[in-house]
């Protein structure tokens, strides 16, 4: 089970590289508006939207458009890219496996809002943001991206967010390998439920990844004052990752459909074998039932009734008829 998520503090995490190259961390929120107004240096502020004090900074310190601020209140808002007069809003979707539930195919999705200005990047999210944590770790080891501007910071954050999908796809691939073994090797009849579970998971991931293709296609191609041309080149790599994710999920979907068809075919074949076996048994029982029924009638005179070996003669006739039926069925390839 995953450890509980810590409650957010009232002050957000922040990084600032001033025009002299000095690095500052965890600034006083009162300085944010001054830095934004000055337009110098590079500022990254990471907001945890569970904190009312941090959420309020969207309006008080950065003065984002009310529609952008309202958008952060919806955890199911669509993936998109919008340009405003003083900033660029990019919304992407993250995902993680929910380890707190017994369902091994249960995933949770969450939005990441990125506000890109001329000299700042503001990221806003809920309790889970693996891409943010990965980007923060990289920045702690090598703060050079701050020297390259807010656009490169946005690339690092979005690249880490998209890369967080790949471990999930590896786990989905392991799920599918296990299902194939259960269907083709052991034929586990309980595999049908898991096939539908993994297929639902793949379709859910595909639905979330698909819209991000358009977002990154715009980021790498559309001219904008907030992203330099040399910075947009880096988004091509993220776009390629999204294409890889989409193609992999499409292949998983096709593979699961084939696995499901194979499962249903095996069920049908096994049902056919059972029906075939019952048919053979029923066919072989016909001479025994017919002959025994005829000689079991209540007549005074019945052939062979007075003969000492009559029973053995009739038994031999019945076995001969049964053997003849077996030979005919074998010649016709039915058994």
Residue 61, in any domain of the structure: yes
Q: Residue range 81-110: average pLDDT?
A: 83
Residue 259 in 3-state DSSP? Answer: helix
Query: Looking at residue 6, what is its pLDDT?
Result: 57
pLDDT at 2 over 70: no
DSSP run (H or E) holding 122: strand 120-125
Q: Residue range 90-108: average pLDDT?
A: 79
More confident residue, 326 or 209: 209
Query: Looking at residue 143, what is its pLDDT?
Result: 78
Same domain, 198 and 335: no
Query: Looking at residue 3, what is its pLDDT?
Result: 46
Question: Residue 44 — φ and ψ, nearest 5°?
Answer: -125, 120
Q: How confident is the model at residue 314 (pLDDT cuts 50, 70, 90)?
A: confident
Let me know: does 201 contact 179? Beta carbons within 8 Å. no
Same domain, 114 and 257: yes
Same domain, 196 and 148: yes
Residue 1, in any domain of the structure: no
Same domain, 331 and 222: no
Please, what is the Cα angle at 93 between 77 and 144, to 5 degrees? 125
b/e per residue, 303-325, with b = 16+ CB within 10 A? eeeeeeeeeeebeeebeebbeeb
Please tell me the distance from the alpha carbon of residue 130 to that of residue 160, in angstroms, as a whole number: 8
Residues 6+ apart with CB under 8 A from 89: 64, 68, 71, 80, 81, 82, 83, 113, 114, 115, 116
Q: Quick one: tokens of 243?
A: 């294409």
pLDDT, tens only, 172-187: 898 888 888 888 777 7
Residue 28 in 3-state DSSP? Answer: coil
Same domain, 51 and 164: yes
The CATH number of residue 131's host domain is 3.30.460.20
Residue 5, in any domain of the structure: no
The secondary structure of 44-88 as a DSSP string is EEEEETTSHHHHHHHHHTS---HHHHHHTT-TTPPPEEEE-SS-E
Same domain, 222 and 113: yes
pLDDT, tens only, 216-271: 999 998 888 888 888 899 999 999 999 999 999 999 999 888 888 888 887 787 78
pLDDT at 35 over 60: yes
Q: Among residues 141, 137, 168, which one has the least CA distance to residue 46?
A: 137
Q: How confident is the model at residue 113 (pLDDT cuts 50, 70, 90)?
A: very high
Residue 272, in any domain of the structure: no
Same domain, 17 and 129: yes
Query: Looking at residue 19, what is its pLDDT?
Result: 87
Query: Looking at residue 9, what is its pLDDT?
Result: 66
Same domain, 309 and 246: no
* Burial class of residue 44, CB neighbours in 10 A (0-12, 13-18, 19+): buried
Q: Residue range 40-64: average pLDDT?
A: 92
Residue 94 in 3-state DSSP? Answer: strand
Same domain, 116 and 175: yes
The whole domain housing 186 covers: 13-266
Query: Looking at residue 112, what is its pLDDT?
Result: 92
Same domain, 117 and 258: yes
Same domain, 206 and 332: no
Of the chain, the percentage scoring pLDDT greater than 70 comes to: 93
Mean per-residue pLDDT over the chain, rounded: 84
pLDDT, tens only, 284-311: 777 777 777 766 666 667 776 677 777 7
Residue 273, in any domain of the structure: no
Same domain, 315 and 255: no
Please tell me the distance from the alpha carbon of residue 290 to that of residue 214, in angstroms, as a whole number: 75
DSSP run (H or E) holding 206: helix 191-221
Residue 274, in any domain of the structure: no
Please tell me the distance from the alpha carbon of residue 179 to that of residue 47, in angstroms, as a whole number: 41
More confident residue, 7 or 74: 74
Please tell me the distance from the alpha carbon of residue 201 to that of residue 194, in angstroms, as a whole number: 10
Number of domains forming the structure of the chain: 2
DSSP run (H or E) holding 168: helix 165-184
More confident residue, 59 or 140: 59
């Amino acid at each position: 089970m995953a450890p509980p998520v810590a409650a957010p503090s009232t002050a957000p995490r922040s990084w600032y590289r001033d025009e002299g190259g000095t690095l500052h961390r965890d600034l006083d929120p009162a300085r944010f508006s001054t830095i934004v107004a000055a337009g110098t240096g590079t500022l990254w502020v990471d907001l945890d939207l569970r904190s009312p004090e941090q959420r309020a900074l969207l309006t008080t310190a950065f003065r984002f458009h009310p529609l952008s601020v309202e958008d952060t209140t919806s955890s199911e808002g669509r993936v998109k890219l919008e340009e405003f007069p003083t900033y660029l809003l990019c919304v992407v979707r993250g995902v993680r496996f929910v380890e707190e539930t017994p369902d091994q195919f249960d995933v949770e999705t969450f939005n990441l809002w990125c506000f890109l200005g001329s000299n700042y990047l503001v990221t806003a999210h809920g309790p889970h943001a693996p891409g943010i944590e990965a980007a923060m770790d990289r920045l702690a080891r090598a703060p050079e991206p701050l020297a390259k501007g807010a656009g490169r910071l946005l690339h690092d954050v979005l690249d880490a967010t998209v890369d967080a999908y790949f471990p999930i796809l590896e786990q989905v691939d392991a799920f599918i390998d296990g299902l194939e073994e259960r269907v083709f090797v052991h034929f586990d009849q309980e595999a049908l439920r898991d096939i539908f579970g993994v297929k639902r998971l793949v379709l859910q991931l595909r639905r979330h990844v698909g819209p991000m293709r358009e977002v990154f296609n715009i980021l790498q191609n559309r001219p904008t004052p907030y992203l330099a041309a040399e910075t947009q080149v880096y988004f091509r790599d993220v776009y390629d990752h999204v294409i890889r994710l989409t193609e992999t999920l499409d292949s998983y979907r096709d593979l699961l459909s084939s696995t499901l068809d194979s499962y249903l075919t095996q069920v049908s074949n096994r049902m056919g074998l059972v029906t075939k076996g019952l048919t053979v048994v029923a066919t072989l029982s016909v001479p025994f039932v017919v002959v025994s029924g005829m000689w079991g009638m209540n007549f005074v005179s019945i052939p062979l009734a007075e003969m000492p070996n009559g029973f053995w003669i009739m038994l031999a006739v019945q076995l001969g008829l049964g053997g003849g039926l077996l030979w005919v069925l074998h010649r016709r390839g039915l058994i």
